[in-house]
Structure 1
Amino acid sequence: MRYLPLSDADREAMLARIGVPGIDELFAGVPRAAWRAELPDLPLARSEMEVERLLSRMAARNVAAGSVPFFVGAGAYRHHVPASVDHLIQRSEFLTSYTPYQPEISQGTLQVLFEFQTQVAELTGMEVANASMYDGSTGTGEAVLMAHRITRREKAVLAGNLHPHYRAVVENLAHMGGHEVVALPPVPVGEDDVLALIDDDTSCVVVQSPDVFGNLVDLKPIAEKAHGHGALLIAVFTEAVSLGLVESPGAMGADIVVGEGQSIGNGLNFGGPYVGLFATRAKFVRQMPGRLAGETVDAEGRRGFVLTLSTREQHIRREKATSNICTNSGLCALAFTIHLTLLGTAGLRTLARINHASSVKLAKALGEVPGVELLTHAWFNEFTIRVPGSAHAVVEDLAAKGVLGGVPASRLFPENGHDDLIVVASTEVNTDEDRAAYVAALKEVLG
């Protein structure tokens, strides 16, 4: 009765009020083929202790990122998050705050979002940033829709090395909206033909740097070609720490910058929740999705914060809304802002240098393993190697030896082959012992 509080009399009263004689008639609209004759094969009632014990056994089957040498990236990265970040975000005034529907009441929340926007704008080299998106992939989809509104065109060109999950979101939105997407195949080595596909019908070009194979991309010639045809350049990143060392997308000519902020302040968490970063030029601000927190003064001249821009379907007619983003990643954005504030400019640059140095050490060591070829030549903290035989089998064998050695490219692009490629990431959390363990395990696996 604790979880099913209705009695038979309660159910009969509800059915009578609805006007049907019984449960079967209530679900008459459901096809009989979809009805279940029996209960699903699931455990029946258990005590709280039994449930906790059962779920703990199930959770123990996972290999946690911090329990073994960990070199997995491909869009989500393991970094050290100071204990102070988790402590601060769990203060009740932060943990319980939600979307500021009545924003002027939520001055603390709005100030945090304002500081977050400032940090994102400075990181990306852009003039304005919004108060977060759900994640990098949905942010990329929204960026493409924004470009269509600005250019009044409907064709997006996607670089081949855009993360496949980001591509899938863009293609799904394009399918539902009747827009055109031209997506190039992945190119682990060398450059794709994205420049050749830009024409006067192009709304935007979407390019990731560092890309899904770890390659750093010079965005300047792409921006120049796109602007020459009246199109926009959307620059995408999945590793926010890279912006502490790599030239900003804004400085290279990007019109919209979007990416994943999980690397700063947020753990892996088995895939979420994460926080999408979104920034653009000031002249495009009214087409930007999501919300924008701004600084102002009240009637008595005191500093205050307001929700400056929020052209969502909750606040405006649906046909004039700039997105369907009806909330933001407020708590994850707060964690991002606290961590980045603790680092400061010099700290972020130092962290980025440590990441790059860690990956260089690993790449050099792996490249000396017989049969292994290093494919990436300019990277931040992630690169791609070629191994003899099946990369999937190699990764599984490494895991059996207690090393999570990366992501098989065939898992990312199953339809494009690349069965012998592994995408490897190394961050500041990886030690010399971790790298030595990887090399030793790989030598054993390859025989």
Structure 2
Amino acid sequence: MRYLPLTDTDRTEMLARIGAPDVDALFVDVPEVARLDGPIHGLPMHASEMAVEQHMRRLSDKNLAAGDAAFFLGAGAYRHHVPASVDHIIQRGEFLTAYTPYQPEIAQGTLQMLFEFQSQVARLYGCAVANASMYDGSTACWEAISMAGRVTRKSRAVLADGLHPHYVSVVDTMAKFTGDTILSATPKLDAGCDEDALIAQIDDQTSCVVVQYPDILGRLPDLAKIAEVAQAKGALLIAVNTEPVALGAIASPGELGADIVVGEGQALGVGLQFGGPYLGLFAVRNPKHVRQMPGRLCGETVDAEGKRGFVLTLSTREQHIRREKATSNICTNSGLCALAFSVHMTLLGEKGLRALAMENHRLACLAADRLATVPGVTVINDSYFNEFTVTLGTDARDVVRKLSDDGVLAGVSLGRLYPDADGLANGLLVAVTETTSEDDIEMLASALEEALGVEVSA
């Protein structure tokens, strides 16, 4: 598409047709003080296509791509190998240009894909029903809290201290408009999760307890223990999972008693993509809660001739239909990202997912064992999947910056995630996936030895 599709002749004819003397006449209702009297300050004037390409290439050269460094970043966004066939399939015209199926009778392919996607998510999460996706994990987390309020008719949510701080921020923002009471805390650099402290906050007015699994420090909370107490108090347990590959190795949240399971699906099929778009996953364990779920639900049926067909089973809860009475403002789904997730899951299969998960865990164990031998580094976790936390004895932010200059993306510093918290600045969250080689692990360990040695001598 051309950026400037209209000629001067086109514009003159259009103005004549509507009876306007010039373009400025179309803006007479805008107060003069609000109108620009010239080009926007600081923005360059137009340039040729070639000049723009050269400029953008110079900007992109400043980036350090994930594949060009020893990469140990995680904290909710993970680098996994995405087979080339995923990108090939999702770029087929019938998928790439498809939008939300408002008229399902002419979107059978899209509906079937979403139905298969829902089936995969429900199986992965150990739940009865999953929806057709959401925007991302953080907004799915808030929607789960909102749903719990509708189910229990309570408005007090207790968040585990291991919930990702960005998710907590989204919840706090949304709760300002609903009046929900949100209880949250900052994690401590302890080996295990303090389930007893979390359970102590659950009372008869609690609508839900939100627990990340694995949590932001890579630890594995006891969901079954929390679920038992929460449900005895009439509250729902919401489990949040930011690394779906982990569920190839650990028990599913639904199996452990979670009532609602939400998470981020980016790790499968989607890629890092400079932070988005990502993919929210949402499922419920009890079918009776289906009508309180946000988003859309695709179902399987048969047509008048008895042939298999697909329909939008539930979509009437959304604001484009029910307006202010809607249960959710999620009016669409991350369709293309959901497709990429589903294609990747299909290529892996159950055995492939389990094998991928075990390889992630094997490499993470190698990394943790090697880093534990570095003077000044302490691994705090007793258990983990492919992500764990270490302390460095100095501010991890400084170490991360130094190592990035040397081509090693060492991890996510807890000081970056919790800039105002005491006692976390020395923490470093390290993620290891199948894309991490043993040479990468040795490179990280050697770089930490050098960096920490510099810090000690200074």
For the Cα contact (< 8 Å) 2:319–2:329, is it kept in 1?
Answer: no
Residue in structure 2 matched with residue 333 of structure 1 by the alignment: 338
Structure 1 residues 371-425: Cα deviation after superposition (integer angstroms, max 9, x where no partner): 1111111100000010021100000111111100000101111111311111000
For the Cα contact (< 8 Å) 2:230–2:237, is it kept in 1?
Answer: yes
After superposing the two structures, state which structure 1 stretch, 424-433 or 309-318, moved more.
Answer: 309-318
Residue in structure 1 matched with residue 427 of structure 2 by the alignment: 421
1:252-291 correspondence runs (5 A): 252-280=256-284, 281-291=286-296
Residue in structure 1 matched with residue 449 of structure 2 by the alignment: 443
Q: Tell me how far apart the structure 2 counterparts of residues 265 and 12 of structure 1 sit (CA, whole Å).
A: 49
Residue in structure 1 matched with residue 355 of structure 2 by the alignment: 350
Cα distance change, pair 16–40 in 1 and its aligned pair in 2 (3 A): farther
Note if 1:411 corresponds to 2:436.
Answer: no
Q: Tell me how far apart the structure 1 counterparts of residues 307 and 30 of structure 2 sit (CA, whole Å).
A: 59
Q: Tell me how far apart the structure 1 counterparts of residues 83 and 172 of structure 2 sit (CA, whole Å).
A: 37
TM-score, length of structure 1 as denominator length: 0.95
Residue in structure 1 matched with residue 316 of structure 2 by the alignment: 311
Residue in structure 1 matched with residue 230 of structure 2 by the alignment: 226
For the Cα contact (< 8 Å) 1:157–1:181, is it kept in 2?
Answer: yes
Cα distance change, pair 22–316 in 1 and its aligned pair in 2 (3 A): closer
The one of 171, 181, 193 equivalent to 1:191 is: 193
Letter of the aligned partner of 1:162 in structure 2?
L
Letter of the aligned partner of 2:125 in structure 1?
T
Q: Tell me how far apart the structure 2 counterparts of residues 368 and 30 of structure 1 sit (CA, whole Å).
A: 66
What displacement does 1:322 show? 1.9
What is the RMSD computed on CA atoms of the aligned residues? Answer: 2.2
Structure 1 residues 322-368: Cα deviation after superposition (integer angstroms, max 9, x where no partner): 21111111111111111111111111001000000111100111110
Cα distance change, pair 29–141 in 1 and its aligned pair in 2 (3 A): farther
Q: Tell me how far apart the structure 2 counterparts of residues 18 and 174 of structure 1 sit (CA, whole Å).
A: 50
For the Cα contact (< 8 Å) 1:72–1:406, is it kept in 2?
Answer: yes
Structure 1 residues 159-208: Cα deviation after superposition (integer angstroms, max 9, x where no partner): 11100111111111110112111112222314342111100000001000
Cα distance change, pair 21–215 in 1 and its aligned pair in 2 (3 A): closer
After superposing the two structures, state which structure 1 stretch, 50-59 or 317-326, moved more.
Answer: 317-326
1:46-61 correspondence runs (5 A): 46-61=47-62
Residue in structure 1 matched with residue 240 of structure 2 by the alignment: 236
Residue in structure 1 matched with residue 63 of structure 2 by the alignment: 62
What displacement does 1:42 show? 2.2
State, as a whole percentage, how many aligned pairs show the same letter.
56
Q: Tell me how far apart the structure 2 counterparts of residues 114 and 101 of structure 1 sit (CA, whole Å).
A: 15
What displacement does 1:4 show? 7.8
1:112-123 correspondence runs (5 A): 112-123=113-124
What displacement does 1:12 show? 7.2
Q: Tell me how far apart the structure 2 counterparts of residues 2 and 319 of structure 1 sit (CA, whole Å).
A: 38
Cα distance change, pair 122–73 in 1 and its aligned pair in 2 (3 A): same
Q: Tell me how far apart the structure 2 counterparts of residues 56 and 410 of structure 1 sit (CA, whole Å).
A: 32
Structure 1 residues 60-83: Cα deviation after superposition (integer angstroms, max 9, x where no partner): 101000011100000000000111
Q: Tell me how far apart the structure 1 counterparts of residues 120 and 261 of structure 2 sit (CA, whole Å).
A: 13
Residue in structure 1 matched with residue 250 of structure 2 by the alignment: 246
The one of 18, 21, 27 equivalent to 2:30 is: 27
Q: Tell me how far apart the structure 2 counterparts of residues 179 and 207 of structure 1 sit (CA, whole Å).
A: 18
Residue in structure 2 matched with residue 168 of structure 1 by the alignment: 169
> Which runs of 5 or more structure 2 residues have no equivalent in the other structure?
454-458
Give the secondary-structure state (helix, strand or coil) at the position aligned to 1:197.
coil
Q: Tell me how far apart the structure 1 counterparts of residues 304 and 141 of structure 2 sit (CA, whole Å).
A: 39
The one of 172, 186, 205 equivalent to 1:201 is: 205
For the Cα contact (< 8 Å) 1:289–1:311, is it kept in 2?
Answer: no
Q: Tell me how far apart the structure 1 counterparts of residues 87 and 275 of structure 2 sit (CA, whole Å).
A: 18
After superposing the two structures, state which structure 1 stretch, 9-18 or 313-322, moved more.
Answer: 9-18
Note if 1:402 corresponds to 2:407.
Answer: yes
Q: Tell me how far apart the structure 2 counterparts of residues 188 and 118 of structure 1 sit (CA, whole Å).
A: 37
The one of 290, 293, 298 equivalent to 1:293 is: 298
What displacement does 1:103 show? 1.1
> Which runs of 5 or more structure 1 residues have no equivalent in the other structure?
none
What displacement does 1:266 show? 1.1
TM-score, length of structure 2 as denominator length: 0.92
Structure 1 residues 16-56: Cα deviation after superposition (integer angstroms, max 9, x where no partner): 75999858854317569xx6776321221211011001001
Q: Tell me how far apart the structure 2 counterparts of residues 258 and 118 of structure 1 sit (CA, whole Å).
A: 15
Residue in structure 2 matched with residue 363 of structure 1 by the alignment: 368
